[in-house]
Amino acid sequence: MSLDLKQFQTTFFEESFEALDGMELALLELRPGEIDAECVNTIFRAAHSIKGGAGMFGFAEVTSFTHAAETYLDALRGGCLPVSQPGIDALLKSVDLLRSMLSSVQQGHAIDAQPATALQSELERLLHASDPQDGAGVESGRRAPAAAGLGCAAKPQPCGWRIEFKPHAALFQQGNDPVRLFGELQRLGALEPSVELGHLPTLATMNSELCYLAWDLKVHGESAQADVEEIFEWVADDCQVVIQALDPAGAAQSSQSAPLATAECAANSIASRQEISAPQARQGESGSIRVGIEKIDELINKVSELVITQSMLTELGGGGGGTGGNLLQTGLERLERNTRDLQESVMRMRMLPINVVFSRFPRMVHDLSRTLGKQVDLVLRGEQTELDKTVLEKIGDPLVHLLRNAIDHGIEAPETRRRLGKPEAGCLKLEAFHKSGSITIRLSDDGSGLDCKKILTKAKSAGLVGDEELSDEATCDLIFLPGLSTAEKTTDLSGRGVGMDVVRKNIRALGGSIEVSSEPGRGTTFSISLPLTLAIMDGQSVALGDESYIIPLVSIVESLQPKPELVETVAKRGEVFLFRGVYVPILHLDEVFATRSKARSPGEGLIVIVESEGRRFGILVDELLGQQQIVIKSLEQNYRKVEGISGATILSGGSVALILDIPELLRIAHERGAADRQCIG
């Protein structure tokens, strides 16, 4: 039967992209003139792993280019080349190019050969230019002598090689094909194969998925032993290989016999990291498996339905009495605990460390700072803080905007910082941590800070605000208004008045909020608050007329029944409530959603004080119904976008309740003039 290689290719692409990320981070750690053997070896192993996998799957263009990069890295690793900034830049370009090439292959598109040819020529030029002996470097398409364990001076090559190749029985189950190996050997010279049939079973007992053959192979021609080893490194964990040099008469020289180093190669083998179900699979090996995200989403949906069913049963069984009723209640409580534990376990399957996003920023900061002629040190903290995969996928772009603005607008040029008595290198801190049941991402810089006077002047001239005076906090918040930019000139990075409003919009779409604080001459800090997940949350159920609504528990400050003397009407436009010495606007939900409410005035109902982006306002409701964990359903996917609503959920009684979008309601309160800007701010 034919072996389907798609599953192995999927793993190859996933792990190759991960290897490129690691390669990039290691390259950013290199410093010109300094030799960091660990970093160089990390980079080399990543390139070598990608090259081996690409060769096995027949991705010739990827294999060829990676070989050129690997040749340069071999020379670095062997001490034949110094670490230089042009070399680091060329290798960073190689990472970008390999990402592009792998993406093209993955999508079935043709690879543009021109960029690879140009960059390969650049690597070869750097290699030749740095040759300390005669500038000849190494031949294109052949491993550098240092990588073959020969130092920087070449040695005569033998007339060929004899390879004893004995695959393990499970070779095919790992996605390996001996025919591909033989094809690679033929590129080195004339191949003379012979097969050993001593372990071939009878047809009745043969398992077509197992390998029973072994081969004695001779390759005639001048080639390095390292070139032969490369071909078998990809299968080193699934076979026994012994390589011997041939003398001019074609006989093997036993004195040069050398078994393939399987320990190092196993670390580079992607296939060897997969769990297999065949009897030959390794026993006692613990690890991880890769599961499609759609399967996890399906499981989460099933658990969500289980949570709803459990809530319904709890409500139905709550009124029972007697021994039977008590036993039922005990069982329902146990079911609730088990359901909650199962739900939390399933949700953790979607949680990933935020380093998945953070890891892309060192390269971006490196490139931007060089483009702008600035020196910037990026400090990352809390990289292992976990967040839902969906949130992670959508928070990357807003963080990119913030980082670019911090480098372009915030951090000064080295000469300016020197004149101000600051270190020439600016500092960017990006950290993530848990806070009050949510995730906070904080980005701070030690740059010039925000010029509140300039921001307010620009906002007034653009007609974005009136003539009223604003506090520094409210003025800083103006940078999120669409169309506002304080840049003196338009560049490729900023100055067009777009970006910061998109940042806030995208963060609000995730159910989060963003705050900004700044100190002139000392720097600016952005704080982003995000929910742990977009699937399940704790909420407060409230009643408004005959309808039920859910307020996210994380947004609630306090619920109370106001005294009439603490409620004031502002300019006949709305009402404010004196809450702990500060007036907060009151929002009537019945006016927002055009529905009926039993409470026509704050004194007749309850006010739920909520907070968003550092600002508070009150929501007038008829009564509180209770707290519960809710399963969030997308209203936009199943119906359409509704202003002030972030989603829907099914209550324990089977009815549907709408989930309030607190940041959106804050905007509505502001636009409708529920109170003047000073009260809102």
DSSP H helices in 2-130: 6-29, 37-56, 60-77, 85-106, 113-129
Round to whole Å and give the CA distance between 172 and 167. 9
DSSP state of 110: P
Round to whole Å and give the CA distance between 386 and 433. 9
Round to whole Å and give the CA distance between 16 and 651. 45
- Residue keyed to tokens 């959106």: 664
Q: What is the pLDDT of residue 141?
A: 40
Q: Which of 98, 100, 106, 101 is nearest to 12 (CA)?
A: 106
Cα separations (Å) of 537 from 296, 527, 659?
18, 21, 11
Which structure tokens are listed for 167? 């695959």
3-class SS of residue 403: helix
Which structure tokens are listed for 225? 């032993």
Average pLDDT, the chain: 78
Q: What is the pLDDT of residue 493?
A: 58
* CA angle, residues 662, 667, 672, in degrees to nearest 5: 120
Q: What is the pLDDT of residue 324?
A: 61
- The CATH superfamily holding the domain 536-680 is CheA-289, Domain 4 (2.40.50.180)
Cα separations (Å) of 362 from 118, 355, 446, 501?
26, 11, 17, 25
Q: Is the dihedral of CA 224, 225, 226, 229 positive or negative?
A: positive
* Statement: residue 379 has pLDDT above 90: yes
**Mean pLDDT throughout 614-625?**
87
Q: What is the pLDDT of residue 97?
A: 93
Number of C-beta neighbours around residue 462 at 10 A: 14
Q: Are strands 556-560 and 567-570 parallel, antiparallel or unpaired?
A: unpaired
Q: Which of 254, 252, 287 is nearest to 273 (CA)?
A: 287
Confidence of residue 18 (pLDDT cuts 50, 70, 90): confident
Q: What are the tens digits of pLDDT across the range 187-235?
A: 888 888 899 988 888 888 888 888 999 999 999 888 888 788 878 877 7
Q: What whole-number percentage of the chain has pLDDT above 70?
A: 81
- The CATH superfamily holding the domain 353-531 is Histidine kinase-like ATPase, C-terminal domain (3.30.565.10)
Round to whole Å and give the CA distance between 409 and 455. 13
CB 614 within 8 A of CB 515: yes
Q: What whole-number percentage of the chain has pLDDT above 90?
A: 14
CB 652 within 8 A of CB 541: no
Q: What is the pLDDT of residue 381?
A: 92
- Residue keyed to tokens 């459990």: 310
- Residue keyed to tokens 């830049």: 89
Q: What is the pLDDT of residue 261?
A: 38
Q: Is the dihedral of CA 507, 511, 517, 523 positive or negative?
A: negative
Q: Which of 499, 494, 526 is nearest to 397 (CA)?
A: 499
3-class SS of residue 673: coil
Q: What are the tens digits of pLDDT across the range 69-114?
A: 888 888 888 778 888 889 999 999 999 999 999 999 888 888 888 9
**Mean pLDDT throughout 452-466?**
80
* Statement: residue 466 has pLDDT above 80: no
How many Å is the Cα radius of gyration of the chain? 33
Confidence of residue 434 (pLDDT cuts 50, 70, 90): confident
**Mean pLDDT throughout 280-286?**
35
3-class SS of residue 192: strand
* Cβ-defined contacts of 371-374 (< 8 Å, 24+): 372/407, 372/408, 372/413, 372/493, 373/413, 373/414, 374/407, 374/411, 374/412, 374/413, 374/414, 374/426
Q: What is the pLDDT of residue 253?
A: 56
Q: What is the pLDDT of residue 583?
A: 86
* Statement: residue 262 has pLDDT above 50: no
Query: Looking at this protein, which amino acid is placed at residue 489?
Result: K
Same fold, 6-148 and 353-531: no
CB 137 within 8 A of CB 122: no
Q: What is the pLDDT of residue 100?
A: 92
**Mean pLDDT throughout 470-479?**
80
Q: What are the tens digits of pLDDT across the range 594-611?
A: 888 887 777 788 899 998
CB 246 within 8 A of CB 220: yes
Most confident of 26-35, 222-231, 252-261: 26-35
Q: Residue ranges of the domains in the chain?
A: 6-148, 160-272, 294-349, 353-531, 536-680
Round to whole Å and give the CA distance between 332 and 309. 11
* Statement: residue 297 has pLDDT above 70: yes
3-class SS of residue 555: helix
CB 651 within 8 A of CB 550: no
Query: Looking at this protein, which amino acid is placed at residue 379?
Result: V
CA contacts within 13 A on the Cβ side of 185: 25
DSSP state of 624: E
* Statement: residue 681 has pLDDT above 80: no
Lowest mean pLDDT among 288-297, 354-363, 369-378, 390-399: 288-297
Q: What are the tens digits of pLDDT across the range 110-159?
A: 888 898 999 999 998 888 875 544 433 444 343 443 333 333 444 445 67
- Cβ neighbors of 535 (< 8 A, separation 6 or more) are 300, 304, 347, 350, 388, 631, 632
497, β-bridge pairs:
none
Which structure tokens are listed for 439? 């995730």
| pTM tops 0.85 | no
Looking at domain 6-148, which of 1.10.12.10, 3.40.718.10, 1.20.1560.10, 1.20.120.160 is its CATH number? 1.20.120.160
Lowest mean pLDDT among 145-159, 201-215, 268-282, 361-375: 268-282
Q: Which CATH number does 160-272 carry?
A: 3.30.70
Confidence of residue 266 (pLDDT cuts 50, 70, 90): very low
Helix or strand (DSSP H, E) at 167: strand 160-167
